[in-house]
C-alpha cells in the first residue's frame, strides 16, 4: 500500500491526534511530544483504543507459562495489547499460534530502539515454544506456499507507533475469514537528546547503532544523553536528580536485568548521592555490553546461516 494511502487511512482512524501544541504526536512516521518525561502512554491507550497490559494479565501469563516476566514486561516497557488474552487462552488450551516480527530497510545498521522488540520476541519464542516468522522488506521471496495449516492466530510484539497498520489489518481480517492478529505494544526507547522523541536512524546523533564501537558509545552518551541532574554539584547533592527525564537511567530501565541494582541506582540518583557522570558511566557499561555481544554474534554469521534462516520451510507446531 502506498505511503500516501496509508497516511490517509491513519487520519481516518484518528490516531494522528496532535491538534494542540501540548498533545503527543504518534504515527508510524513521527513520534514527538513537548513533555520532558515523554509520551503519555495512558492517554495513548485511550486514543488508540487498545488495552492496558496490567498486573492481572502479567500474572496470568506467568502462571500459564511457568516463567517470570522479563524486565521489559514487568517494568512497563511493554504496556498495552490487543487480544493478548486470546493468545494466553490458546496456550492454556494447547492450541497453535505463532509469533511475527520484521524489519524494513532504514539504514546500514539497526539501533538500540530496533533491538527492543527483537529481544522481547526472542524471549517470547523461548517461553511459548512456538514458531517465529521474521519478515523482511523483500517479502515476495519468502512466501510459505507449502503451509498446510490454516487460520492459525498470530502474536505481534511491536512499538505502539506501528498500531495503525495492524488496526487496518484487524479490520480486514474478518472479511478474509482470517483470525485477527493479537498485538503487544512497547513504549519508545528515547532519543539521546531526550524523551520528546524516539531514536531515529536518519538522525545518527539521536541513537546508538548496533555497529557502534565501545568508544563511539561512550562518546555519544557522555556528549548527547540528556541528564536529569542539577546544574551544580552542590545543587545536585541537595535536590537530587530526576530519573523520569534522565536518558541514561531510561536506558538502564530497558536493558539492566537486575531489579535490585536498578532500584538502588534510582534511589541514589534521586537523593543526589549518585552524580550524572556516574549514572552515565553505568549506562555506558550496560550498552557497551549489549552491543559487544551483538558484535561477537555477528562475527559467527555466514552465508550458510543466512540461507538457513531464509529458506522456505513448513512451520513446526508441536500440538
Which of 93, 101, 94 shows the shortest CA–CA distance to 124?
101
- pLDDT of 200 reads 86
Q: What local confidence, expressed as pLDDT, does residue 76 receive? A: 96
In terms of domains, do 181 and 217 share one?
no
Predicted local confidence at residue 6, as pLDDT: 44
Domain match, 149 and 220 both: no
Find the mean pLDDT for residues 221-237: 97
Is residue 57 domain-shared with residue 145, that is, in the same domain? yes
Higher pLDDT, 7 or 59: 59
pLDDT in tens, 82-130: 999 999 999 999 999 999 998 876 667 889 999 999 999 999 999 999 9
In this predicted model, what pLDDT tens digit does every residue of 272-316 receive, in sequence order?
999 999 999 999 999 999 999 999 999 999 999 989 888 887 777
Beta bridge partners of 99: 132, 155
Confidence of residue 256 (pLDDT cuts 50, 70, 90): very high
pLDDT of 1: 45
Can you tell me the distance from the alpha carbon of 82 to that of 31, in angstroms, rounded to the nearest whole number?
Answer: 21
Q: Are residues 48 and 175 in the same domain?
A: yes
pTM of the predicted protein model: 0.85
Please give the distance of CA 31 from its chain centroid, rounded to a whole number. 14
- Provide the domain count of the chain: 2
Alpha-helical segments (H) within the chain: 3-12, 41-48, 55-65, 71-74, 84-93, 112-128, 163-172, 214-224, 233-239, 247-255, 259-271, 276-299, 303-310
Residue range(s) defining the domain that contains residue 250: 201-299
Within this chain, do residues 19 and 164 fall inside the same structural domain, yes or no? yes
| pLDDT tens digits, one per residue of 285-294 | 999 999 999 9
141's CB contacts (< 8 A; 6+ apart) are: 310
In a domain, 20, yes or no: yes
pLDDT at 115: 94
Answer yes or no: is 169 within a domain: yes
pLDDT value of position 135:
84
Number of Cβ atoms within 10 Å of the Cβ of 202? 8
Quote the CA–CA distance of 190 and 196 in Å, as a whole number: 7
183 and 148 fall within a common domain = yes
Cβ–Cβ under 8 Å, residues 97 and 64: no
- The CATH number of whichever domain residue 250 belongs to comes to 1.10.240.10
Dihedral (C-alpha) 49, 55, 58, 63: value to the nearest 10 degrees? -140
| Assigned domain for 196 exists | no
| Closest to 111 (Cα-Cα) out of 231, 29, 220, 27 | 220
82 and 229 housed in the same domain: no
Partners of residue 26 on adjacent β-strands: 31
Amino acid at each position: 500500500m502506498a505511503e500516501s494511502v496509508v497516511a490517509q487511512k491513519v487520519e481516518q482512524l484518528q490516531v494522528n491526534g496532535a491538534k494542540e501544541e501540548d498533545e503527543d504526536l504518534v504515527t508510524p512516521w513521527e513520534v514527538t511530544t513537548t513533555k520532558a518525561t515523554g509520551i503519555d502512554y495512558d492517554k495513548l491507550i485511550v486514543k488508540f483504543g487498545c488495552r492496558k497490559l496490567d498486573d492481572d494479565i502479567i500474572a496470568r501469563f506467568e502462571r500459564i507459562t511457568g516463567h517470570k516476566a522479563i524486565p521489559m514486561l514487568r517494568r512497563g516497557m511493554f504496556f498495552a495489547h490487543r487480544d493478548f488474552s486470546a493468545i494466553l487462552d490458546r496456550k492454556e488450551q494447547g492450541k497453535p499460534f505463532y509469533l511475527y516480527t520484521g524489519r524494513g530497510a532504514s539504514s546500514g545498521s539497526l539501533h538500540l530502539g530496533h533491538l527492543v522488540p527483537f529481544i522481547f520476541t526472542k524471549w517470547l519464542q523461548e517461553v511459548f515454544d512456538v514458531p517465529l516468522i521474521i519478515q523482511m522488506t523483500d517479502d515476495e521471496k519468502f512466501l510459505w506456499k507449502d503451509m498446510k495449516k490454516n487460520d492459525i492466530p498470530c502474536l505481534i510484539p511491536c512499538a505502539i507507533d506501528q498500531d495503525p497498520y495492524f488496526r487496518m489489518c484487524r479490520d480486514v481480517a474478518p472479511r478474509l475469514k482470517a483470525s485477527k492478529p493479537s498485538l503487544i505494544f512497547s513504549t519508545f526507547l528515547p532519543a539521546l537528546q531526550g524523551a520528546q522523541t524516539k531514536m531515529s536512524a536518519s538522525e545518527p546523533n539521536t541513537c546508538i547503532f548496533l555497529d557502534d564501537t565501545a568508544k563511539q558509545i561512550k562518546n555519544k552518551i557522555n556528549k548527547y544523553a540528556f541528564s536529569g541532574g542539577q546544574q551544580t554539584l552542590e545543587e545536585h547533592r541537595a535536590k537530587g536528580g530526576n530519573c523520569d527525564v534522565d536518558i541514561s537511567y531510561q536506558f538502564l530501565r530497558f536493558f539492566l536485568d537486575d531489579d535490585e541494582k536498578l532500584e538502588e541506582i534510582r534511589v541514589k540518583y534521586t537523593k543526589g548521592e549518585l552524580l550524572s557522570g556516574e549514572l552515565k558511566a553505568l549506562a555506558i557499561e550496560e550498552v557497551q555490553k549489549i552491543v559487544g555481544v551483538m558484535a561477537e554474534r555477528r562475527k559467527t554469521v555466514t552465508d550458510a546461516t543466512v540461507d538457513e534462516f531464509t529458506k522456505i520451510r513448513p512451520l513446526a507446531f508441536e500440538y
